[in-house]
């Protein structure tokens, strides 16, 4: 078994890839599974699938993990197929989406009192996005106030905040995704929005 001394329930972790729902039905708790993943003892190659870290890099374990989630007759392709055979490709799940941003980020003063709130952002990078709707952000007066507020956020909290309007959020253009991807060192998987 994997070396997870002190983690309750580790003895019940299967040697082979398994579905999270089966582990929960078998008596393992979500807390135990989360602890094992966070501790590096389990890896998540696909949504809902876990594999012991010491077995993760074998072709057999990868194929078995894929078989747990693929429908009959399905095939792997591109980077997922390369990953299956141990080629230099990111594991499934790491290329499908950018990390989700934190929502409603509170910016507090030295007393802990909330002064500002960002719509969403990435705390580690101190990069925020705000939606500038027409009702509260339309017109030159609003634009100047938004610029002053964002400058204050940069000075006081060292956050870079970008405002985006509906022209950047709705429709097929992916300017927001590319801007966030550049900041995170990632490139969006899709080249065009599907809505």
CATH code at 10-84: 1.10.10
Task: List the domain boundaries for the chain.
Answer: 10-84, 102-184
pLDDT tens-place string over residues 7-55: 566 677 888 999 999 999 988 888 888 888 888 888 888 888 999 888 8
List own/partner pairs for 124-129 with CB under 8 A and 24 or more apart.
Answer: 125/183, 125/184, 126/157, 126/158, 126/159, 126/160, 127/159, 127/160, 127/161, 127/162, 127/180, 127/183, 128/153, 128/159, 128/160, 128/161, 128/162, 129/101, 129/161, 129/162, 129/163, 129/164, 129/176, 129/180
The average pLDDT across 182-187 equals: 65
The pLDDT of residue 111 is above 60: yes
pLDDT tens-place string over residues 155-176: 999 998 888 777 666 666 676 7
């Amino acid at each position: 078994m994997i070396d997870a001394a002190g983690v309750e329930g580790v003895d019940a972790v299967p040697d082979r890839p398994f579905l999270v729902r089966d582990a929960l039905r078998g008596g393992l708790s979500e807390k135990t599974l989360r602890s094992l993943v966070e501790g590096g003892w389990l890896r998540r190659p696909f949504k809902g699938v876990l594999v012991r870290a010491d077995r993760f890099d074998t072709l057999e374990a990868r194929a078995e993990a894929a078989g747990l989630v693929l429908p009959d007759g399905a095939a792997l392709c591109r980077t997922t197929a390369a990953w299956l055979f141990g080629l230099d490709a990111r594991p499934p799940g790491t290329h499908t989406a950018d990390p989700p941003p934190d929502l409603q980020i509170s910016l507090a003063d030295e007393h802990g009192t909330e002064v500002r709130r960002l719509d969403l952002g990435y705390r580690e990078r101190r990069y925020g996005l705000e939606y500038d709707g027409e009702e509260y952000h339309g017109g030159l007066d609003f634009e100047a106030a938004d610029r002053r507020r964002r400058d204050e956020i940069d000075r006081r909290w060292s956050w870079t905040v970008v405002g985006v309007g509906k022209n950047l959020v709705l429709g097929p253009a992916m300017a927001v995704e590319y801007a966030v991807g550049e900041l995170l060192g990632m490139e969006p998987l899709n080249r065009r929005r599907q809505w």
